[in-house]
A and B are shown apart, each in its own frame.
Chain A
Amino acid sequence: GNSVTQMEGPVTLSEEAFLTINCTYTATGYPSLFWYVQYPGEGLQLLLKATKADDKGSNKGFEATYRKETTSFHLEKGSVQVSDSAVYFCALSDPTSGTYKYIFGTGTRLKVLA
C-alpha cells in the first residue's frame, strides 16, 4: 500500500541555517505530494504541493521537488527563521489508487534557535 516516510526529529538549527527535511514515499499510482506545517496549538496548513514528476512546489522560501526516480519530496529552505519552528508533515494523495484519502508521514519537529 501507499506510505510516507520522513526523517526523525527533532531538528534543531540556528537562525539563517540551511534546512533539509527528507521525505520518501511508496505509491502504486501517480500521487500528488504535499508538505504541511503545524504551529503549536493549531491545525495543519498547506505549505506547498506538487502534482507530477519534476514539479517544484514553493512557498515562503520553502521548496520541494517531486523526484519520481528516487520517490522523494525533500523540503528545503535556504535560511530558516525562529518563526519557522513548527512540525512539518509530508503527505501524499493518490486518486489513481481508487481513494482520495491523504497519507501523512509521522512529522518532523523543527526548532530554530536565535
Chain B
Amino acid sequence: KAGVTQTPRYLIKTRGQQVTLSCSPISGHRSVSWYQQTPGQGLQFLFEYFSETQRNKGNFPGRFSGRQFSNSRSEMNVSTLELGDSALYLCASSQGQGPTYEQYFGPGTRLTVT
C-alpha cells in the first residue's frame, strides 16, 4: 500500500508570491490534516479536511487556505508569502476523524521563502 505522498518535496519562493502544496493520502483515507513544522514553534496544526469539508482549523491567518477533492487529495495554498512561512509542511491522512484512527504522515514539503 502506497504511503502519503507530498509534492513538491522542496520549494523556494520569494516574499509576496503564492504557493500551492499537494498531498495524496493513502488509498481509502478520507481525512487529511496539514501541519507546519518549524524549529521555533514545533508542529502546529493548520487544518483538517474530511469528505471535502474543512472540519477543524488552527490559529493561522487567512493567507493559509486549503481544499480537498472528491478523491481525498488535498492542496494547501499560502498567499503573499512572508519569510516566517519558511517551514516543513506535513500532511497526514487517516481513515476517519479522531484519535481512534491512526494518522499517517507524508515526508513533507520543505518551503523556503527568500
Q: Which of A13-21, A67-75, A77-85, A100-108 contacts B (4 or more CB under 8 A)?
A: A100-108
- In the complex, whether A61 has a CB less than 8 A from a CB of chain B is no
Chain B residues with CB under 8 Å of A105's CB are: 42
Residue B99 contacts which of A32, A36, A89 (CB distance < 8 angstroms)? A32
Closest residue on chain B to residue A33 by CB atoms: B99
Q: Are B105 and A45 in contact (CB under 8 A)?
A: yes
Chain A residues with CB under 8 Å of B33's CB are: 101-102
CB B35 to nearest CB in A, in angstroms, measures 8
- In the complex, whether B84 has a CB less than 8 A from a CB of chain A is no
Which of the four size classes fits the interface of chain A?
Answer: 20 to 34
Q: Are B103 and A101 in contact (CB under 8 A)?
A: no
- In the complex, whether A49 has a CB less than 8 A from a CB of chain B is yes
- In the complex, whether A58 has a CB less than 8 A from a CB of chain B is no
Q: Are A103 and B45 in contact (CB under 8 A)?
A: yes
Q: In the complex, what distance in Å separates the CA atom of A104 from the CA atom of B38?
A: 12
Q: In the complex, what distance in Å separates the CA atom of A93 from the CA atom of B58?
A: 14
Q: In the complex, what distance in Å separates the CA atom of A42 from the CA atom of B88?
A: 11
Q: Are A104 and B107 in contact (CB under 8 A)?
A: no
- In the complex, whether A10 has a CB less than 8 A from a CB of chain B is no
- In the complex, whether B43 has a CB less than 8 A from a CB of chain A is yes
Q: Are A100 and B55 in contact (CB under 8 A)?
A: yes
Closest residue on chain A to residue B44 by CB atoms: A104
Q: Are A43 and B56 in contact (CB under 8 A)?
A: no
Q: C-beta contact mask, A83-111 vs B, less than 8 Å → 1, else 0?
A: 00000010101010001111111110000
Q: In the complex, what distance in Å separates the CA atom of A53 from the CA atom of B99?
A: 15
| Interface residues of B, Cβ cutoff 8 Å to A | 4, 33, 35, 41-45, 48, 55-56, 58, 90, 92, 97-100, 102-108
